Structure 1
Amino acid sequence: MKKHNYSAGPCILPQEVFEKSAQAILDFNQMGLSLLEISHRSDEFVAVIEEARTLVLELLGLQGKGYQALFLHGGASLEFLMVPYNLMKVNGKAGYLETGTWASGAIKEAKLFGETLILGSSKEANFNHIPKGYEIPKSLDYFHCTSNNTIYGTQMKAFPEVDTVRVCDMSSDIFSRTLDFSKFDLIYAGAQKNMGPAGATLVVVKEEILGKTGRTIPSMLDYQLHIAKESMYNTPPVFSIYASLLNLQWLKKQGGIAGIEKINNAKAELLYAEIDRNPLFKGTAVKEDRSYMNATFVLENEAHTPIFDQIWEQAGISGLKGHRSVGGYRASLYNALPLESVQVLVDTMKALENKV
């Protein structure tokens, strides 16, 4: 039976990425060696990481604009620490938008380095919306936001104008929709949400914002050092970077971000239309802030849970359960999920309506 993978991360990837990755593990580039055993400094892998870094900037429209793309370790969670280390001045100040669990984690780390202002928060409403109407002081070293919130199913549809450095955690919706990425000075994302397998972290940074904090930064946490070493300061996550490259190549063949955005919009609109139509279900995020990557919803009557769970599991759907901290259901609609899979989910929701 075909599986329909709604996992929030590690997430679905294109079938051709799995096939090419599997072949590379057996024999990479007809070298007679596995990708897993070659030197990360070999010509063959250097070509991989250079193409991946170039393709990132190409897809984001940032080539020739003073940006560097880095593949690092530690996931987005380490970037919670690296961002203030590299951007918050001694005795400095940063502003954060608190829109979910991961934003709260970033705020916690920033507080270790200096004054950290929460400019807007939706915590009291269980993060069911994106805060609006907040003010951004001009004295900040940087402004930080999270573009998409996987747990609560919200997404920023617009970004505030700022007079300082703008940082965005785009872990769960990077490469999924068109934006003017040049309006961001630093973007970071864990690969496992919409780009590749777990293990690599993407950082896209404008070089001119670095080196101004007055801090002594440990080597492994210093963006400038990683730029100078071309993401090779220490052994990079070879397999994750290679699979990410394959995924970026696949994305380019889909028409790039603009091409995949049309498909993503169709998927989200199909699912949300059923959530709103079907009296047995209710979306958990405010409609204007609904995520097009992670749709969260609940049953109006929890007594229907075992019946619905049986229906979708028998339909070959996987990974639909909501995050353990909030319950309900979460359909992650990442780039590689086909529209066909969304239709299968919609059909199971209609089947429940007919059954009860």
Structure 2
Amino acid sequence: MLRDDLRTLWTEPRPPDAAARVWRDWALLGAGLGGVVLEATLREDVVWRPVAVVFAVWLCVLPLWRRTRPLATVTLAFGSMILLQVASLIAAPREPVGLYTGLVVLVLVYALPRWGSGREIVLGGAVILGAFVLSVVTDETPAGEQVAGFVFLFLPGLIGAAVRFLATARERQLEQVRSREREQLARELHDTVAHHVSAMVIRAQAGRVLAGTDPAAAVEALEEVEEEGARTLEEMRAMVAALRDRGAGAELAPPAGVADLERLVRAPGGRLRVDLKLDSALESLPPAVDAAVYRIVQESVTNAMRHAVNATEVVVRVTAERHTVRVSVRDNGQRTGRGRDGYGLAGLRERAALLGGRLQAGPGSDQGWHVEAELPRGRTESGAHPRPRR
């Protein structure tokens, strides 16, 4: 089992969402260089001052690449520390060489398990451990201080590993939410298409019966329509049955849509008044878009009921244009800075994207929380607009 765990760690890839640089990198660099200047100017006990200053500047610059090159930055930083320790061991200075600003290397220790692959974590950890062992061998420090130094050095790495685990777990949960949303959409599309295909089969059967005069060509055509329709229906049922969770019963009732929004917002138990206004041109929406509008309003109103601070009203607007449907849900609570979407909004964003639309959610410019969605009335190809229903 241990061998399998080590093999899994060795083959672990890097996290996919590593940013090259953000503003915090430049702030860290500025703070580090400022610390170097202050130490080099004010401290009188600096040993090998030019070497210590250059070394500290080197350590301050390396974190700029800590996310994209975690192993390289750790190797360069702690490798140079090993070389400096060897040089100081040969020259035997009175005090340790270096500036306190060199503690910036702890950022690299954090970044290694946070952004590195499994192979990089193992190799980089070996380099860090080697530098620590060399310092223990060369410095005559009590055992208690050595243990404290070990904990101090590797604690940022444990924090980085914990942060990575939490981020991975959240991403896994988000992917499960997206998968459930895709499954729900597939179920709704299946129910809709199955209805039309079933009607096609019935009409084909009727056409064959009505061909009383036995026109051979018509009968053959009707038989082909019937056969193809039945085959399509069977294959589609098999495909969606594989997508569905076997533990959850299949929903045979048609999905809720725009026509059900009045009943949704009038449901008892809500602590906020819901102001709902719908366009009159929403009757002919495609079933998938119709269900998506309902789900967006349902999730947004539910979130407002649960999380809106000091809100008294939720304003819901669903407007139809020639080629798009727009959904807007806003509450009048205090403006909040909720930084990231919950799993419900992540699923709705996935659904909107699958339909070719988009969804945005965030604090409003003046107050409350706003959800804005734009969905196409029907899928188009090559930029052509969907044909209106007859």
User: Per the shorter chain, which TM-score range?
Assistant: under 0.3
Q: Which has the larger radius of gyration?
A: 2
Task: Give the TM-score taking structure 2 as reference length.
Answer: 0.23
TM (normalized to structure 1)? 0.24
